[in-house]
Amino acid sequence: MKAVPFYLALLAFPLCAQVKITQSSDRITIDIDGKPSTAFFIGAETAKPYLHPLRAPSGKIVTRGYPMDTIEGESKDHPHHRGLWFTHGEVNGIDFWANEESQKGVNGKKGKVVVKKVDGLKSGKKSGSVDATFDWVDPQGKAIIVETRKMVFYAGPGQRAMDFDILLRAIEKVEFGDTKEGTFAIRLAAGLEEPMPKSLPKPKRTGLMTDSEGRSGEKAVWGKRAAWVDYAGELEGEKLGIAIMDHPGNPKHPTYWHSRSYGLFAANIFGEHDFYNDKGRNGGMTLEAGNTLRFRYRVVIHPGDAQSAGIAAQYKKYAAMK
């Protein structure tokens, strides 16, 4: 049997890879088993990098389309809630959270998170990864934080799992202010929102959030500390959920949760005076020049709810990772 030339084998490998990572001008696309999974938007027009949309293995989209897409039945609030993202609402008095062009930011000050370099892309049979470096810049365009981020996307027949490893290094002294407006966040598709009296009639809102402590619903989960939160419901007849897991090595673990019935849920260690309803409390954090903060999270898109998907057991395995 004639051997296949080495260069042809190399050309064939990406076609065999179950997780394929591809870069274009304004985004990096992630395909799993030959189907779109998500895309990482990093173009010059973006106020912060974000993943959009996130898909279940069936192809159903579990994140809100607005403001990137117009979808009937979606609310059009909070234009800064783009897919999945990581920023904070008050850093040296600058808003990196609500920082769209249409928004004013904190005291009229808003920053941007801009890509500095895509350090590496890797496709593979079981996983693929994206490594990138970003600058958090103030309104004058001066960088105050350098962020390095590694994202790993896993292939799997029943679910979609993603790991995030984010390192923030202060270029100058920076203060992460105490505000609920942060930090590692997802905005869900309308069908996964919790039902509310003012919900739009279609699609039917079917979601329910639960956490690692056995609490469920916004009133029980919002502002509380938990190792993970899962948001599950039904989309077009398919029962689906999405979980965010807080690594035990993260600062202030277990994190607080800024989780809302309208489909937002976010891990946020800084917003203590809001979460405790205590203006005398300060959950902010100061980072001296040259010092770093590291955050690690896992996101799992799964069938069923947290119990049927075994999210508690999955978290134990994730927590054991060094």
Q: What is the CATH number of the domain that holds 273?
A: 2.70.98
d(CA 264, CA 193): 8
pLDDT score at 138 = 97
Residue 115 covered by a domain:
yes
pLDDT score at 9 = 36
Residue 3 covered by a domain:
no
Residues spanned by the domain of 253: 16-319
First vs last C-alpha separation in the chain? 45
pLDDT score at 88 = 98
pLDDT score at 124 = 97
pLDDT score at 106 = 81
d(CA 305, CA 303): 7
Residue 274 covered by a domain:
yes
d(CA 230, CA 240): 10
Residue 283 covered by a domain:
yes
- Supply angle C-alpha 23, 25, 27, rounded to 5: 55
pLDDT score at 152 = 98
pLDDT score at 255 = 98
pLDDT score at 322 = 77
**Per residue of the chain (322 residues), what is the pLDDT tens digit?**
344 343 333 333 344 569 999 999 999 999 999 999 999 999 999 999 999 999 999 999 999 999 999 999 999 999 999 999 999 999 999 999 999 988 888 878 999 999 999 999 999 999 999 999 999 999 999 999 999 999 999 998 899 999 999 999 999 999 999 999 999 999 999 999 999 988 888 999 999 999 999 999 999 999 999 999 999 999 999 999 999 999 999 999 999 999 999 999 999 999 999 999 999 999 999 999 999 999 999 999 999 999 999 999 999 999 998 7
Residue 9 covered by a domain:
no
Cβ–Cβ < 8 Å for 177, 90: yes
Characterise 221 by phi-psi region: left (phi > 0), alpha (psi -120 to 50), beta (else). Answer: alpha
pLDDT score at 17 = 64
The beta strand positions in 182-316, using DSSP E, are: 182-187, 208-211, 228-235, 238-246, 256-259, 264-268, 285-287, 292-303
Residue 6 covered by a domain:
no
- What does pTM read for this prediction? 0.93
Residue 5 covered by a domain:
no
Cβ–Cβ < 8 Å for 235, 241: no
Q: How many domains does the chain have?
A: 1
Residue 294 covered by a domain:
yes
d(CA 45, CA 41): 10
d(CA 286, CA 173): 7
